Structure formats: C-alpha cells, structure tokens
A = this chain, B = another copy of it.
Amino acid sequence: MRVPRSHPRYRSLRARELLASMVDEGVADRTGLIAHGRGEAFDYFLGERTPPEARLAASVAAYRLAKARAPVISVNGNVAALACKAVIALAKAVPARVEVNLFHRTEKRIDLVASYMESLGGRDILGRQAAGRIPGLAQPRAKCSREGIFSADVVLVPLEDGDRAEALKKMGKLVIAIDLNPLSRTALAANITIVDELTRAIPLLEKYVRMARKEPARHARLVRGFDNVQNLLSVRDRMARNLMDAER
C-alpha cells in the first residue's frame, strides 16, 4: 500500500515505509522501528536541523577518530538500514573498522547485515567472528569481535543502547555516540555525544574528519574546551525552547 502523495506528511511517512521494508529484508528489527519513532519525536524538537551543539560535538569526535590508534564504528540494524553508504564513506575517511553489533543478536542476522553492507561496498566488515566479550553485559549481547570493538581505543556507536554504551566506557574506551535524546543513558554515558539525526550526523562527521586531518590544531583547541554534559544540557534547553516557541 502506498501513502498518497496528497498527504501533507508524505515525506516523513515515506521514510517510515522505507525503514519498514528493511525489516522485511531482515536488516532492521521490528523493535528498531519503535526506536526510530522515538528519534523522530526528538528530531521534531530540534526542528529537524543539526544544532550548533551537534556541530561542536562532531568536530571534537572527528579529531578523536582521526587521532585514534584503532577506531571502530559499531553498526546495528537501523544504522545499516538508514545510513549504510554514509558509514562506509566515513570508515574510509577515518580510516576505521566497521563491526556489526546487534541488540537482538542472532548469527544469521549478523551475517545478513554484514552481507548487506558488503553488497553496498563495505570491506572487511567485522562481527561474524565474535570471540571477544564486553564485561558486564548478559549474553549474547556481550559478544564482540576481538580485532574490532574488543581491542578498539575509540568506538563510534550510532544509535546504541545505554547498557552497552556504559559497558564500553567501563572498558576504558573513548565512546562517541549519536543519539537524539540528550538525556538518554547512552548520551550521558558517552564521552562525546552528537545529538543529531543519523543521516545528517554521519556525513557531517565524515566532512569534519577530513577537516581535522587538514587543520588538526584548530580541532585540538575545541577538544580541550569541550564538556559533554554541558553540551547536552545546552541541546536539552534548545529543545525545550523550540517546544515553547512551536507554532500552533
């Protein structure tokens, strides 16, 4: 069934249809659709625009990724469904490894998402071999790749669950999150949180990684002055103001 073009929210509804179709492909999980809906509401409070706080966080994150010894981008079903090509481009720019890591983990789905990314140009996608363990998580969610997340120093977790973000930080990794809820456990657990919509944030991060390579000194200054919690509170205030000023 098609949403009629005459519908005023055609574009947003069409995006929903597309993500729903990725559930049929097995790439996204049904519960990922609910998580996507939550994000939609927070993005509505952002005015569906990248806020200055997200630009700052992305600049800092880009520097950390560019300087990392072993950076890894963790990809779940929604990330693969919505931003596969953008993630591959970012991984190439850093360069970083890509690891598939699913909340609803089955070996079959790991292989399916990895194969999907490979079909769109992803190389050496990690996740199928998962001999590493993240301490403090119940099985099978503790599983990770030994050469990927387990030995990474910097991990980018777009759309990550709070539990795993906290566990990764406890392992001593620098955690960079992309999360539309500025007060989520993931947002608060991460060292650097980019409060922005995924498909806007990943290309922005790629652009900033390229800039951080050219002008490392400028980005290094931003890193020194950066306070993640203050930055999150600033976005939170922005959302509340947007809500107060919303047209009716």
Contact = CB atoms under 8 A, between A and B. Distances in A.
Contacts of A237: 244
A39 interface: yes
A106 B2 CA distance: 12
Contacts of A248: 183, 188, 229, 232-233
Interface residues of A, number: 49
A122 to B, nearest CB: 25
Give how many copies assemble into the complex: 2
Contacts of A240: 240-241, 243-244
Contacts of A232: 248
A17 B241 CA distance: 33
A86 B172 CA distance: 49
A194 interface: no
A195 to B, nearest CB: 13
B31 A104 contact: no
A16 B161 CA distance: 14
